[in-house]
Structure 1
Amino acid sequence: MLPESVDSILDWLAQTGLAGADEASLVRGFSQRCIAAGCLLSGGLVIIDTLHPLYEGRALIWEEDPGANFRDNEFQPIRNDDANWESWQRNPFFHMLRDGETYMRCRLVDGETLGYPQLEELRVAGQTDHLAVVHRLRDAPSVEDADGFYARWTTAAPQGFSDPDIDALKRLTTQLALALRLAAQTRLANTLVETYLGRDPGRRVLQGGIVRGRVEKISAVLWFSDLTGYTRLSEEVPWDQMISLLNDYAEAVIGSVHDAGGDVLKLIGDGVLAIFSGPDLKDASMAAMTAGRALGQKLRDLSDRRAAEGLPTANVHLGVHFGDVYYGNIGSPDRLDFTVVGPAVNEVSRIAAMCHSVDRRILCSSEFISLLPEEERTDFVSVGRFALRGVGSAKHLYTLDPAILQNR
């Protein structure tokens, strides 16, 4: 590659990275521009470790062959007791990371595979040259805990890479690593903010909604659910099993809310606070109904599975309400929470708490029932008026007709 071509690709990486391009666009664009500049790439593998609740990192695989699909995969951590650990130990990247090497070139056309099975596979497949690049992103006491950026470029050109191409790829790959790290951290920020704050609050925060005291008044359907008999369960169930139980039931609740278009705002011990909102409040009420029905099925399936495995089971109490709330940033300058506050939030938690007193799994306020289409209201029956703790006026509460609930 000519120096001016290298400079052009460097400029493109800087501009595209700053513009917020994703990892796949960066790897595709980089590979295509290298080929256009005369570096005959035939394949590339890029891996970047990242902080994620579920995944160790992301692998992007590009091939020049038009018939090959671009692959973009997230992968699980590899630990020294995993089945894949032995294969990882035979990978050139492992040895480069362990030994602090940044570059490894193997002229496959000359049979230089250094005993690595992966390189022998590339040679047999017709690749003639190989360049691996490793940059540590975070030091750690052991190889399995270190975070890194890894890249592998190959060519099938008869004479392999030229020395100027190797020099250019080394320089360019470092800039690609920087752009990819920026893209990965941006994606990670989106994931973490939405995971810990909720989907809609996360979007609002990332769009600049971080000013303390900036709230808006909205009308929303409010959902509060918690585990039935949590105190008893926590005393009777071993804590390793209790954590599993909490996770299983939280997944059932949160999945039901999210699938129906709601937003989970808080996990409070075993409790879940969520809202359903939007321009059409009848749609919001029906979304809450959809979530409730889905939760019922998920709970039945979950209890069957856990009982079959000899694990403790539980049930969920659910309170549903409708009212005005203040939605936004509340807290101190150095510790904010994007949440909802207002009397309706207190009321929905008290409604859920009444489930135990009246022996009902679901209780809904008259305000929520009034939102529902007429044909949906017939599924509910009144359980009476109740004075709720900390609420100034009694609430008329409804539950699903027991005959209907039994069939769901």
Structure 2
Amino acid sequence: MNASELHQITNWLIDGARSVVNSPRLMAEVCERLVEAGLPLWRVGFFVRTLHPDIFGRNFIWRLGAEVEFGTVDFKILDSPAFHNSPLIHVFQQGLEVRARVDDLQSRRFPIVEDMRAEGVTDYIALPLLFTDGAVHASSWTTKQPGGFTEEQLSALRQITTPLARVIEIISLRRTASSLLDTYVGNRAGERILGGQIRRGHTESMNAAIWLSDLRGFTALSDRLPSETVVDILNQYFDCQVTAIRSHGGEVLKYMGDGLLAVFPIDEYVGDEQQVCSRVLEAARESRVSVMAMRYPIGDAVERFRFGVALHVGRILYGNIGGGNRLDFTCIGPAVNLAARLEKIASRLQRTVVASEGFAGICRGGWSDLGEFPIAGFSKAERVFGLADETSPA
């Protein structure tokens, strides 16, 4: 093991590993540099827990001569036999290093040893990656070197994990910030906030299709069912829409009780008005099917659900609005107000999907003219359209 090269790698990590742009590249460069310094690595794994509603953690696997493999695991792994029989559980739970050699009888308690033997691996060590907040993450290192790692090589690995953990923590914090912003404010809003748009009044005008929906009979539902049941119903109900909205290029900006506000930006990158509005209408049709198919057993009965969505297109003001240091990244404007009024008309007419004349005029075909309606707060009435294939009230 070349001590001078190891020192250079350590200094490179302490300096922030500035030559790398993401986690896979960091892992590849660390491992390649260690191999060049004389460390006989075969397979290396980084396992980092994350703050995410669906993902327990991310794993990065490097093999000599191959590209880094990247994957995620959900929370089910915590109950899996593979995790409970892995050396990594001791790292995560106790912050201990664990060594497993194929020629060591004690190591046979780990099923991974037989997999290592089949692959020609002779030695394995799992080392904790300790973050500054006390969180424990894990790394694993293997070799095919006859006799396994030497004490000098193990010492080098232990020496490298501390600065390595610092760089991984920085990258993980950036990813967590991005993930949390995506989860709570949406992708486009999250990108803008991370890009520095955090001052009150920092807004921009944007042309967009607007989606505003709510669940029919929600007040009565909330009154007669336990709160926990209502939350579960809402989550399932929103699932019926969010999947369709996101898959067709929309971004959910806000949940308001049972209401949902989403926008579909119209620009040169995503498509013109006709293309975007067609995708919005397809998302509305998919959501309608999903909500109609939704069933929720309550006692001996099965609850069914109805919803309504209003579609409009126009310019909105998109950005930071709020008071003091508590801001909301949202959209406002007459176009949003009109969509909200149209949604109330949809409820009154017992229709599922309604659209403004502007939206229906862009996305032609398949509409029924429902008439002209006065709109509160607007100087003139608005002609409203409903989907022609709604043969019965919603």
TM interval, shorter chain, is 0.7 to 0.9
Q: Does 1:129 align with 2:123?
A: yes
State how 1:68-217 maps to structure 2 within 5 Å: 70-77=68-75, 82=79, 84=80, 88-101=83-96, 103-109=97-103, 111=105, 113=107, 115-119=109-113, 121-123=115-117, 125-137=119-131, 147-217=135-205
Equivalent in 377, 380, 386 of residue 399 of structure 1: 386
2:49 aligned partner: 49
Q: Which deviations, in whole Å up to 9, do the C-alpha atoms of 1:337-368 show, x marking residues without a partner?
A: 11111222122111101112122112211222
SS across alignment from 1:157 = coil
Task: For residue 158 of structure 1, report the CA deviation from its aligned partner.
Answer: 0.8
Change (3 A) 1:20 1:240: farther
Tell me the distance in 2 between the aligned counterparts of 1:19 and 1:70.
Answer: 17
Tell me the distance in 1 between the aligned counterparts of 2:309 and 2:94.
Answer: 56
1:389 aligned partner: 376
- Identical-residue share of aligned pairs (%): 29
1:326 aligned partner: 317
Change (3 A) 1:113 1:307: closer
State how 1:235-246 maps to structure 2 within 5 Å: 235-246=223-234
Task: For residue 390 of structure 1, report the CA deviation from its aligned partner.
Answer: 3.8
Amino acid corresponding to residue 216 of structure 2 in structure 1: T
SS across alignment from 1:324 = strand
2:326 aligned partner: 335
Paired residues of 1:61 and 1:71 also in contact (CA < 8 A):
yes
Q: Does 1:234 align with 2:234?
A: no
Paired residues of 1:16 and 1:26 also in contact (CA < 8 A):
no
Paired residues of 2:27 and 2:68 also in contact (CA < 8 A):
no
Paired residues of 2:131 and 2:169 also in contact (CA < 8 A):
no
Equivalent in 352, 358, 377 of residue 343 of structure 2: 352
Tell me the distance in 2 between the aligned counterparts of 1:290 and 1:249.
Answer: 18
Tell me the distance in 1 between the aligned counterparts of 2:101 and 2:366.
Answer: 73
Q: Which deviations, in whole Å up to 9, do the C-alpha atoms of 1:358-387 show, x marking residues without a partner?
A: 221122112222333xxx2x4212212222
Task: For residue 283 of structure 1, report the CA deviation from its aligned partner.
Answer: 2.5
Tell me the distance in 1 between the aligned counterparts of 2:263 and 2:115.
Answer: 53
Amino acid corresponding to residue 305 of structure 2 in structure 1: A
SS across alignment from 1:51 = coil
SS across alignment from 1:286 = helix
Amino acid corresponding to residue 304 of structure 2 in structure 1: T
State how 1:251-262 maps to structure 2 within 5 Å: 251-262=239-250
The two structures have a TM-score, normalised by structure 2, of: 0.88
Identify which range, 332-341 or 10-19, moves more after superposition.
10-19
State how 1:15-26 maps to structure 2 within 5 Å: 17-18=17-18, 21-26=21-26
Tell me the distance in 1 between the aligned counterparts of 2:382 and 2:328.
Answer: 29
Task: For residue 311 of structure 1, report the CA deviation from its aligned partner.
Answer: 4.5
Equivalent in 280, 290, 299 of residue 291 of structure 2: 299
Task: For residue 267 of structure 1, report the CA deviation from its aligned partner.
Answer: 0.9
Quote the RMSD (CA, aligned, Å): 2.8
Task: For residue 183 of structure 1, report the CA deviation from its aligned partner.
Answer: 1.8
Amino acid corresponding to residue 381 of structure 1 in structure 2: S
Task: For residue 406 of structure 1, report the CA deviation from its aligned partner.
Answer: 4.2
* Structure 2 unpaired stretches of 5+: none
Tell me the distance in 1 between the aligned counterparts of 2:20 and 2:386.
Answer: 49
Tell me the distance in 2 between the aligned counterparts of 1:285 and 1:120.
Answer: 56
Tell me the distance in 1 between the aligned counterparts of 2:154 and 2:91.
Answer: 18
Equivalent in 270, 278, 292 of residue 286 of structure 1: 278
Q: Which deviations, in whole Å up to 9, do the C-alpha atoms of 1:138-163 show, x marking residues without a partner?
A: 88xxxxxx842111111111132222
1:143 aligned partner: none
Tell me the distance in 2 between the aligned counterparts of 1:255 and 1:196.
Answer: 16
Q: How many residues are matched? A: 387
Identify which range, 351-360 or 3-12, moves more after superposition.
3-12
Q: Which deviations, in whole Å up to 9, do the C-alpha atoms of 1:18-70 show, x marking residues without a partner?
A: 4663222222222222222211111222211111111111122233375xx74
Identify which range, 227-236 or 103-112, moves more after superposition.
103-112
